[in-house]
A and B are shown apart, each in its own frame.
Chain A
Amino acid sequence: MNMLDCYVMFSAILFIIGVYCLTTKRNIIRMILGIEILINAANLNFIVFSAFRAAGFIDPLGHSIVMVSVGLAGCVTAVALAITIHAYKHYGTIDIRKLSRLRG
C-alpha cells in the first residue's frame, strides 16, 4: 500500500466521521463541527492529490482551492453560529431535536 492510498483512505474515514457526527449528534455546535470535518476531509484530499500528481511538482490548483475553501468554511460557520445564537434566544436550548415545531 503506497502513501497516496493511505492518505486517501484517511480522508475517506474523516468524511465518514463527519457524516456520523452530523447524523447522531444533537447539539447544534457539534453538528457545525461535523460540517467542518466534512470540508476538511475534502481539503486534505486536495492537498494529497496536488502533492502526488507528479514527482517533484506540487500543483498550485489544489492548494488554492484549499485556501479558498477554508475561508468559505469560516463564512459558513460564522453564519451558522449567528443563527445558533438566535435559536438559543428563541428556544432556550441548542438541542436540535427541540427545533422541530415546523414539520418538513
Chain B
Amino acid sequence: MFGSVLDAIVFFALTNSIVGWATLKFNFKWLCGVYSLAGLSIASVELYEISANAFSRPLEIPLNPMPFESYLRIDALSIFMSLTFILIGFFVTAYSIRFIESEGGAPLYYTSLLLMIAGMIGVVSAGDFFTFFIFWELMCISSYVLVSFRRQHWEPVEAGMKYLIMSSAGSAAILFALSLLYGLAGTLDFIRLADAMVNSRDIWIYAILMLTLLGFGVKSAIVPLHTWLPDAYSAAPSPISAILSGVVTETGIYALCRVLLTIFISLRAEWSMILAVLSIITMTFGNIVALLQVDLKRLLAYSSIGHIGYMLAGVATGTPLGLTGALLHIFNHALMKGNSFLCAGAFIYRIGGRRLDEIAGAGRRMPATATALGISLFALTGMPPLNGFISELTIFTSTIQAGMAWLGVCIILNSAISAGYVLRVIRALLQSTNEGESADIKEAPIVMLLPILLMAALVLLFGVWPDPALKLAMKAASTLVLKG
C-alpha cells in the first residue's frame, strides 16, 4: 500500500497488540520487543533492496484509490533519512526490551514507537504535502503518547500536555499555511509547486513563510518556540528521549529544508538571513543554558537545542555544501545524542537518579557505560577523531563559502562553550565517592549495554571513516534542490 518499507513497519506495529496478548499466554516478557526488532530488520532489508533503484531515479509509489495525484516519492534523501530513522529505531527498540520490562504496557509502547518511526519515514518519502501532512500527524500523535507514557507520575503528564498543546498548535499553523498554498498554486505536489512558485512574489507567500516557520519551528525547537523540549525530553522514558532528540526534532529540520527549497526559492535572501539569526540565537541559548543544568537529561536536552542551531546554520547557507553538512549532522547527532540519552537511561536504571551529584562516581562502577557516554559527549563538542567533528567542519566550511563567516565563528565559539558542560559531566562520572554508598551498583544489563557500545563504536567509526556517510549526504543534498 505504502511501499514495502512502510508496509513492513505498519504491519508489525498493528499486529503488536496480538503479540502482546500472546505474551500473557506464554509468559515471555520480551516477545513484543523481539517482534518489533524483527519488523525493523525486515524494513531495513526492504530499504536496502529499493535503495539501488532509488539512487539513479526517484521511485514513485502512487496511493491508488485517490482521484488525484498523491504519492510517495523515494529519492536519495528519503533513503538517507530513512536509514538514520531505522538505525536509531533499531538500537532504541533493542534497548527498550529491558528498560520497559518493569513499566508494563509493552504492546502500546512498541506500537507507538513503530508508528512514530513509520510516520517519520513517511514524512521523508512523501511526494506531496497531502501525504506529508498525514504522516507528519502520525508521527506527532504517537510522540505525544510516548512522552506521557509513564502516566502514573506527574512529570510526564505535565510535559506531555505542554508538548501536545504547543506541537498541535504548530501542526494547525502548518495546515493553515498549506491551505493558503493550495489556494495560491492549486496543487500540493512538490515538483509542480516548485515550478509554480519559482518566480512568485505574491504578498500571501510571506504569510505562508511565517506560518510554516512557526509550525516547523515548534517541532524542531528553534529558540523562541523551544520551551516544550527540555521538559518533554527529561520526562519521557530514556529510549524515547533518545529517539525524540536523535530523529524526531530533526524531521522538523528536514521539513524546513524541503519547504524552503521547494516553495520559497524566490525568497532565498530573506529566509537565509532569518534562519542565520535564529540559528545563532538557538545555538547560543542552548549551549549557555546547558551550562547551568544539574540534571543529566535536561543538560542533554539543552545541548540538543544547541545542535539544532548548528543544523539551522547549514540550512541557512542554502548551498549544496551547507545542506550536506546539515544532513550529515542530522545523522551524526542522531548517533551521538541518541547514545548519550541511552547511557543516561542506563544510569537511571541502575542508580535511580539523574542529577549530576547522584551519578557522581558512577564511572567507577559502570566503566563500559561511562566510556560510551564519554565518547558520545566528546563527539558532541566536535572533537577531531569522532563523527561530530566531520559534520561541524562541513557546516563551518559551507558558511565561509557562502560569505557568512560570522555564522561559522559562532559555531566554533559554541563548540567551545559546549566543552564546558561536557567536561562537567565527565568530571562527575570520574569523581571518587564513598565506597559504601555505590558498592552495590553493577554494570548495566547486557541487553542495554550492547546497543550503547555498538552506537559508541559507530560514533568512532564514522569519525575515522566518514566517507560513506558523507557521500550519501552529498547525494541526498543534491536531490533536495529541485529548482535553481
Q: Is the C-beta of A93 less than 8 angstroms from some C-beta in chain B? A: no
Task: Give Cα distance in the complex from A34 to B172, angstroms.
Answer: 10
Q: Is the C-beta of B175 less than 8 angstroms from some C-beta in chain A? A: yes
| Chain B 280-338 interface residues, beta-carbon cutoff 8 Å to A | none
B168 near A90: Cβ-Cβ < 8 Å: no
A61 near B172: Cβ-Cβ < 8 Å: no
| Chain B 158-213 interface residues, beta-carbon cutoff 8 Å to A | 158-162, 164-165, 168-169, 171-173, 175-176, 178-180, 182-183, 186-188
- Decide yes or no: A102 and B141 within 8 Å by CB, A38-B172, A46-B182 being known contacts: no
The one of A34, A53, A65, A102 in contact with B186, judged by C-beta atoms closer than 8 angstroms, is A53
**Which residues does chain B contribute within 8 Å of A35, judged by CB atoms?**
165, 168-169, 172
- Decide yes or no: A22 and B169 within 8 Å by CB, A49-B179, A91-B154 being known contacts: yes
The closest CB in chain A to the CB of B227 belongs to: A104
The one of A28, A90, A104 in contact with B154, judged by C-beta atoms closer than 8 angstroms, is A90
Q: Is the C-beta of A86 less than 8 angstroms from some C-beta in chain B? A: yes
The one of A18, A83, A87, A104 in contact with B144, judged by C-beta atoms closer than 8 angstroms, is A83
B133 near A65: Cβ-Cβ < 8 Å: yes
Q: Is the C-beta of A3 less than 8 angstroms from some C-beta in chain B? A: no
Q: Is the C-beta of B96 less than 8 angstroms from some C-beta in chain A? A: no
Chain B interface category by residue count:
35 or more
1/0 contact trace for A63-101 toward B, CB 8 Å?
011001100100110011001101100110000100111
1/0 contact trace for B210-237 toward A, CB 8 Å?
0000000000000000011011001100
Q: Give the interface centre of B140, B141, B182 by most chain A CB atoms within 10 Å.
A: B182
A72 near B141: Cβ-Cβ < 8 Å: yes
B164 near A69: Cβ-Cβ < 8 Å: no
Task: Give Cα distance in the complex from A15 to B214, angstroms.
Answer: 14
| Chain A 15-50 interface residues, beta-carbon cutoff 8 Å to B | 15, 18, 22, 28, 31-32, 34-35, 38-39, 41-43, 45-46, 48-50
A79 near B141: Cβ-Cβ < 8 Å: yes
Q: Is the C-beta of B157 less than 8 angstroms from some C-beta in chain A? A: yes
Q: Is the C-beta of B46 less than 8 angstroms from some C-beta in chain A? A: no
A42 to chain B, nearest CB (A): 4
- Decide yes or no: A75 and B151 within 8 Å by CB, A64-B68, A65-B130, A87-B157 being known contacts: no
A76 near B159: Cβ-Cβ < 8 Å: no
B182 near A62: Cβ-Cβ < 8 Å: yes
- Decide yes or no: A76 and B137 within 8 Å by CB, A49-B182, A84-B161, A102-B235 being known contacts: yes
**Which residues does chain A contribute within 8 Å of B148, judged by CB atoms?**
83, 86
B63 to chain A, nearest CB (A): 10
**Which residues does chain B contribute within 8 Å of A102, judged by CB atoms?**
155, 158-159, 162, 231, 234-235
B224 to chain A, nearest CB (A): 11
The closest CB in chain A to the CB of B183 belongs to: A49
Task: Give Cα distance in the complex from A8 to B207, angstroms.
Answer: 13
A31 near B157: Cβ-Cβ < 8 Å: no
Query: Do most interface residues of chain B lie in helix, strand or loop, or is the interface mixed?
Result: helix
Task: Give Cα distance in the complex from A8 to B234, angstroms.
Answer: 41
Q: Give the interface centre of B137, B145, B155, B230 by most chain A CB atoms within 10 Å.
A: B137
Task: Give Cα distance in the complex from A7 to B340, angstroms.
Answer: 50
**Which residues does chain A contribute within 8 Å of B183, judged by CB atoms?**
8, 45, 48-49
Task: Give Cα distance in the complex from A59 to B227, angstroms.
Answer: 39
B180 near A45: Cβ-Cβ < 8 Å: yes
Chain A interface category by residue count:
35 or more
A87 near B158: Cβ-Cβ < 8 Å: yes
- Decide yes or no: A42 and B179 within 8 Å by CB, A61-B188, A90-B154 being known contacts: yes
The one of A15, A50, A62, A87 in contact with B176, judged by C-beta atoms closer than 8 angstroms, is A15
Task: Give Cα distance in the complex from A34 to B304, angstroms.
Answer: 30
B71 to chain A, nearest CB (A): 13
Q: Is the C-beta of B18 less than 8 angstroms from some C-beta in chain A? A: no
The one of A18, A60, A68, A83 in contact with B164, judged by C-beta atoms closer than 8 angstroms, is A83
Task: Give Cα distance in the complex from A60 to B69, angstroms.
Answer: 10
Task: Give Cα distance in the complex from A5 to B169, angstroms.
Answer: 25
**Which residues does chain A contribute within 8 Å of B133, judged by CB atoms?**
65, 68-69
**Which residues does chain A contribute within 8 Å of B160, judged by CB atoms?**
83
B162 near A99: Cβ-Cβ < 8 Å: yes
A103 to chain B, nearest CB (A): 8
B408 to chain A, nearest CB (A): 30
B213 to chain A, nearest CB (A): 16
**Which residues does chain B contribute within 8 Å of A101, judged by CB atoms?**
154-155, 158
Q: Is the C-beta of B67 less than 8 angstroms from some C-beta in chain A? A: yes
Task: Give Cα distance in the complex from A11 to B188, angstroms.
Answer: 20
B170 to chain A, nearest CB (A): 10
Q: Is the C-beta of B66 less than 8 angstroms from some C-beta in chain A? A: yes
A42 near B175: Cβ-Cβ < 8 Å: yes
- Cross-chain pairs A/B with CB under 8 angstroms, 14 sampled: A22-B165, A42-B179, A43-B179, A45-B176, A46-B182, A49-B179, A49-B182, A61-B182, A61-B188, A64-B66, A76-B144, A76-B171, A79-B164, A80-B144
Given contacts A61-B70, A86-B157, 7 further A-B contacts (CB under 8 A): A34-B169, A35-B172, A42-B179, A59-B68, A76-B141, A90-B158, A104-B227
Nearest 6 interchain pairs by C-beta: A45-B179, A38-B172, A49-B183, A104-B227, A42-B175, A42-B176
B residues apposed to A, CB below 8 Å: 66-68, 70, 130, 133-134, 137, 140-141, 144-145, 148, 151, 154-155, 157-162, 164-165, 168-169, 171-173, 175-176, 178-180, 182-183, 186-188, 227-228, 230-231, 234-235
